[in-house]
Amino acid sequence: LIPGPWSPCSVTCGLGKQTRELKCRVLLSFTQTEVDLPEEECGEERPELERPCDGGACTLGPGFSPDLQDPQGPHTQGEEPHHWDYRGFSGCSASCATGRQTAVVRCVSRRRGGEEVDDSHCDPSSRPPVMGRICNPEPCPPRWEVTAWTRCSASCGVGIQTRSVFCMRVLSVEQQDSVSVSEKECREFKPSILQPCNQVDCPPAWETEPWQECSLSCGGGSQVRTVFCKQLLSTGAYWTLGDTACPGAKPAPHRTCSKMDCLPYMAGGEWGKCSVSCGLGIQRREPVCRRLTSAGQQVMLARRLCNGLSSPPLVRTCRMITCP
């Protein structure tokens, strides 16, 4: 980025401003010429484009006396014994970034060698014009500026408030003009962006943990959870209390879930008698179509509702007493 020359001061007296333009350019090594580029191609930090300037002292009427001499001329015989006189300037309105001063006008006595007297001794209509000048035009050092704190995140226990902090450079105190600069330019310790708030003990309250997984996927299962009576202290710690310390009814620690009928399934009926009275034999049973209802009850269904479903083992060995 290459800055252009500063423009003339925007005013002919008093506090004004000067501006300049920036151009993004690149030097072509093979031709040794500069070519303009779009500004976004130059990613470096930009120099200031505006600065205050002093257009000199201003006056509001005739009789302006920049050297602060007697605006009414030298004393001659027959003139009034008192007259107005400039007596220096007031304090600067800003310690940096261009403030303003006004000339101090006092009523003085000619007979007493310019001694100041009460203003009532001088003619108000002959009071000299207001004169001002700018002062302390040097830029202010960057300083931290903060926004207001946000609302507290909690009404009790330990809440948090946040705010934004910026490193700012004041360009003009009088015009209230400032720009944000890199945080590295602010020498002072950066103000905190967080602070605790509402650090008081909360009243006891019920606290529940998440529900555990349902005991069944269908057919009416159950879920359980842990319920505590707790108090959040101003230190951020929790204190577990007895159930009687918490107001209101205790939240339910269990509930039903998966309240839907299960799909039909093939089960086995009752086992029949062993095929032998002694030694090793077999037992048989009939397949049964069943369903677990949402109420948790087993009901038998027509066999056709379980067509195509695999059955559990329908035959098993059985051992009776040893044969003689």
Query: Which whole number is the average pLDDT over 106-124?
Result: 87
C-alpha span between 281 and 316 (Å, rounded): 9
User: By mean pLDDT, which of 29-43, 71-85, 141-155, 292-306 is the weakest?
Assistant: 71-85
- Identify which has the larger pLDDT, 71 or 10: 10
Where do runs of H (alpha helix) occur along the chain?
none
* Higher local confidence (pLDDT), 313 or 28: 313
The distance from CA 57 to its chain's CA centroid, rounded to whole angstroms, is 45
What pLDDT shows up at residue 246?
95
What is the rounded CA–CA span in Å between residue 198 and residue 213? 37
- Please state, in angstroms and rounded to a whole number, the distance separating the CA atoms of residues 157 and 230: 12
Top pLDDT among 207 and 5 is at: 207
CB atoms under 10 Å from CB of 105, counted, come to 19
SS3 category, 243: helix
At 190 the pLDDT is 93
Helix intervals (H) in 44-85:
none
Judged by DSSP in three states, 234 sits in: coil
User: What's the longest Cα–Cα distance across the chain?
Assistant: 166
Lowest-confidence pick of 19-23, 61-65, 81-85, 163-167: 61-65
Q: What is the pLDDT of residue 60?
A: 42
For the chain, the structural domain boundaries read: 2-54, 62-135, 144-197, 205-257, 265-319
